[in-house]
Amino acid sequence: MPSKGDNIFVCISQYRKPIAEVDIHLPAHIEWLKEQDRNGRTIATGRQVPGTGGVNIMAAQDRQAMLDILATDPFTAHGCSSYWIFEFELNPDPHKGRLMDHFFREDFSISANAVQKSGARSK
């Protein structure tokens, strides 16, 4: 779960190598995404349709921190993708929007922390 002081980043990746080469690194990329989720950075992730890259909505303190995080992505490390990064600040309460209301409400925080401690994933 993002921290209240974090900014939100929409990180759009574009594959730079053939999909067959990208897919070689997919298991490591999925583990990287799970690590980002465990560290509370992930809001939403997914592959673009058609599969020319991906979209990660993530949280970090600042742009440099986000760049450092993305540099650890196996797709980036192996030259399979590059990112377009768009940073934005959440609107102040109470007008921050329904998605952020969902992530920052107290009962979500409690259930997300319980899921993290148990090692299970919520639906």
How much helix, strand and coil, in percent to the nearest 5, is found in the chain? 40, 25, 35
CATH number of 14's domain: 3.30.70.1060
Say whether pTM exceeds 0.75.
no
Do both 80 and 118 map to the same domain? Answer: no
Do both 35 and 58 map to the same domain? Answer: yes
Q: Domain of 123?
A: 96-123
- Give 121's pLDDT tier (boundaries 50, 70, 90): very low
State yes or no: pLDDT of 70 exceeds 60: yes
Do both 22 and 66 map to the same domain? Answer: yes
Do both 109 and 77 map to the same domain? Answer: no
Do both 19 and 67 map to the same domain? Answer: yes
**Spatial separation of the C-alpha atoms in residues 5 and 55, rounded to whole Å:** 22
Question: How many structural domains compose the chain?
Answer: 2
E strands of the chain, at which residues? Answer: 7-15, 42-47, 54-60, 81-88
- Give 122's pLDDT tier (boundaries 50, 70, 90): very low
Picking from 52, 61, 63, the residue whose alpha carbon sits closest to that of residue 86 is 63
Of residues 123 and 25, which shows the higher confidence score?
25
Do both 15 and 71 map to the same domain? Answer: yes
Distances in whole angstroms, Cα of residue 91 to Cα of each of 3, 12, 50, 97, 99: 14, 22, 31, 8, 12
Q: Render pLDDT for 85-97 as a digit per residue (tens, 0 to 9).
A: 999 876 666 555 5
